[in-house]
Amino acid sequence: MSNEANTPPIATIASLASFEGQTITLRGWLYNLRASGKLLFPIFRDGTGTIQGIVPKAAVTEAVFETLKNLTLESSLTVTGKVRADSRAPSGYELDVENIEVLQRVPEDTPFPITLKEHGVDFLMEHRHLWLRTPRQSAILRVRATIMRAAAEYFDTNGFIRTDPPILTPNACEGTSELFEMDYFDDDKAYLTQSGQLYIEATALALGKVYSFGPTFRAEKSKTRRHLTEFWMVEPEVAFLELDGLLNLAEAFITHIVTTVLAHHRADLKVIGKDIAKLEAVIAPEAATTSESEIEKDASSRPEPKAEWRDPRISSGAPQTSAPVNKFPRLSYDEAHAMLEKAFAEGKIEAPHKYGDDFGSPDETYISSQFSKPVMIHRYPAAIKAFYMQPDPLDPTKALCVDVLAPEGYGEIIGGSQRVDSYDLLKSRIEAHGLPLDAFQWYLDLRKYGSVPHAGFGMGIERVVAWICGLDHVRETIPFARTLNRIYP
């Protein structure tokens, strides 16, 4: 190590443009190495990007040349060199290497397992701790971080208070899904939360507008590209909010996230291979398809929500950004069913949709494929929805709920509803679903002490990352995915 006063400054690869013509030191790893006789082309990475170095044998000491020539991939090192603009380089810059110091050399008999060639899913997941170092995986995690930051930022700047619910819970929140069970001291069982919704209904009635953001667990044996057993969910809950306001909130929220990603990650999205035009279409202010006009007509025929229950900041569109109002298509369950009937008659989907049933995966894929923006489907039959959803006063067989389907067949990214606010109705619903009343007494209390209309939704982060990045599986959207058949590494 040099302790001279003229030690070159330490730079990151992402910031090299501001060091053009200067000698700097990078700290990182050897990503790849090409050699052409007495000329070496090492590629370095440091977590912020990659840069190709160039090492003519005559330009460095014999020791530096030989060390680098025989260096193994992913060995850690510091490298000193001069930054030079070069039109042949993908990033526009190259590094004229002057010196190199190896921190740890990867032994050649145990080479870095992830090569630049193709690998199978099983092998990559088994080496997830090393797979993360590849440019594509790093780019995905950067986009994920921005999506999570934008989500929190939207709520933080719009008057929401973050109130995180417990992860250990005494019982099933909804009484349906399979839960991970564990011993809780002597006699009790505890379960990993599958949703914080019931708890943030309590904090919403305390604080007005709240959200939670944390991990969620489902022990269901789902084995598809859309499922993890451990995933992250962000959930807003708002007092005095009705269904239509909830749709506006979801619309502005998603618009803010996509806008933020597009503002910061065009280079990463390019590395990942996402068609950026499809994201730009999501936030485009103009109507995207002809189908939307039919939907608008239907939406306008519905009565306006009571003015005093509308939150002006939410109803005004996207308050955090100055972007024009963005409209996502809105379909009632009945309209979506009609769309599927037509599609089946025209041979566009294989199985007919039975009225009254929930939409299956192929149904959702077809519906979302008809639009370039997320589709909001509202007012499902109450019978197939959770006990806590408020019935539609215009048709009590329907629930005031919404599912938001991501474009391009990525499926449901948001599920939400207006909550039952009547004590008696909620109590009878709990009983009708065969749920233990005593476990829900605290939840019933919320309808006993100053009940108000309130609504909220949950958004699965990993599905949003998969959609925004254009990935074919959610296992790449989280550093260490937990799936049915894998809990290593």
Partner RNA sequence: UCCUGAGUAGCUCAAUGGCAGAGCAUUCGGCUGUUAACCGAAGGGUUGUAGGUUCGAGUCCUACCUCAGGAGCCA
Contacts of RNA in 119-178 (CB under 7 A): 119-123, 125, 176-177
For residue 476, state whether it binds RNA (rule: CB under 7 A).
Answer: no
Shortest separation between residue 178's beta carbon and RNA, angstroms: 8
Within residues 102-121, the interface with RNA by CB under 7 A covers 108-109, 111, 113, 115-121
SS3 121: helix
Shortest separation between residue 384's beta carbon and RNA, angstroms: 7
- For the record, the structure tokens of 483 come out as 């799936």
For residue 284, state whether it binds RNA (rule: CB under 7 A).
Answer: no
Shortest separation between residue 285's beta carbon and RNA, angstroms: 25
Q: How many residues are listed for the chain in this entry? A: 489
Among 11, 73, 238, 343, binds RNA (CB under 7 A): 73
- How far from each other are the two terminal CA atoms of the chain, in whole angstroms? 35
Beta bridge partners of 44: 30, 51
Nearer to RNA, 319 or 362 (CB): 362
Shortest separation between residue 312's beta carbon and RNA, angstroms: 27
> What is the rounded distance in angstroms from the CA atom of residue 475 to the CA atom of residue 59?
45
Shortest separation between residue 338's beta carbon and RNA, angstroms: 19
Q: Could you tell me how many residues of this chain bind RNA (CB under 7 A)?
A: 74
Q: Which helix (H) or strand (E) holds 245?
A: helix 243-264
For residue 273, state whether it binds RNA (rule: CB under 7 A).
Answer: no
Q: Which residues contact 192 (CB under 8 A, 6 or more apart)?
A: 167, 168, 169, 179, 180, 182, 217
Q: Which helix (H) or strand (E) holds 111?
A: none
For residue 259, state whether it binds RNA (rule: CB under 7 A).
Answer: no
Shortest separation between residue 109's beta carbon and RNA, angstroms: 6
- For the record, the structure tokens of 236 come out as 């807003």
For residue 81, state whether it binds RNA (rule: CB under 7 A).
Answer: no
Within residues 287-306, the interface with RNA by CB under 7 A covers none
Nearer to RNA, 127 or 264 (CB): 127
Shortest separation between residue 108's beta carbon and RNA, angstroms: 3
**Number of neighbouring beta carbons within 10 Å of residue 172:** 17
Shortest separation between residue 306's beta carbon and RNA, angstroms: 27
Within residues 397-416, the interface with RNA by CB under 7 A covers 403, 411-415
Within residues 175-204, the interface with RNA by CB under 7 A covers 176-177, 195
Nearer to RNA, 302 or 482 (CB): 482
For residue 220, state whether it binds RNA (rule: CB under 7 A).
Answer: yes
Q: Which residues contact 428 (CB under 8 A, 6 or more apart)?
A: none
> What is the rounded distance in angstroms from the CA atom of residue 74 to the CA atom of residue 72?
7
Among 175, 214, 362, 470, binds RNA (CB under 7 A): 362
Q: Which stretch binds RNA (CB under 7 A): 292-300, 388-396, 428-436, 477-485?
A: 477-485
Nearer to RNA, 158 or 368 (CB): 368
For residue 355, state whether it binds RNA (rule: CB under 7 A).
Answer: no
Q: Which stretch binds RNA (CB under 7 A): 69-77, 260-268, 342-350, 371-379?
A: 69-77
**Main-chain dihedrals φ then ψ at residue 354, nearest 5 degrees:** -85, 125
For residue 485, state whether it binds RNA (rule: CB under 7 A).
Answer: yes
Among 218, 337, 373, 447, binds RNA (CB under 7 A): 218
> What is the rounded distance in angstroms from the CA atom of residue 272 to the CA atom of residue 471?
8
Among 41, 131, 240, 344, binds RNA (CB under 7 A): 41
- For the record, the structure tokens of 465 come out as 């990352």
Nearer to RNA, 7 or 222 (CB): 222
Instruction: Please name the amino acid found at residue 202.
Output: A
Among 47, 86, 102, 425, binds RNA (CB under 7 A): 86
Q: Which residues contact 118 (CB under 8 A, 6 or more apart)?
A: none
Q: Which stretch binds RNA (CB under 7 A): 37-45, 75-83, 291-299, 446-454?
A: 37-45
Peptide bond into 9 cis (omega under 30): no
Cβ pair 406, 374 in contact under 8 A: yes
Q: What is the DSSP letter of 329?
A: -
Among 58, 277, 307, 432, binds RNA (CB under 7 A): 58
- Chain mean position to CA 187: 38
Among 462, 467, 468, 469, binds RNA (CB under 7 A): 462
Shortest separation between residue 342's beta carbon and RNA, angstroms: 19
Nearer to RNA, 74 or 208 (CB): 74
Shortest separation between residue 296's beta carbon and RNA, angstroms: 25
> What is the rounded distance in angstroms from the CA atom of residue 296 to the CA atom of residue 277?
25
Q: Which residues contact 244 (CB under 8 A, 6 or more apart)?
A: 302, 304, 305
> What is the rounded distance in angstroms from the CA atom of residue 230 to the CA atom of residue 210?
23
Nearer to RNA, 341 or 358 (CB): 358
For residue 463, state whether it binds RNA (rule: CB under 7 A).
Answer: yes
Q: Which residues contact 243 (CB under 8 A, 6 or more apart)?
A: 305, 378, 379, 390, 400, 401, 402, 417, 418, 455
For strands 230-239 and 188-192, give the pairing. Answer: unpaired
Nearer to RNA, 366 or 440 (CB): 366
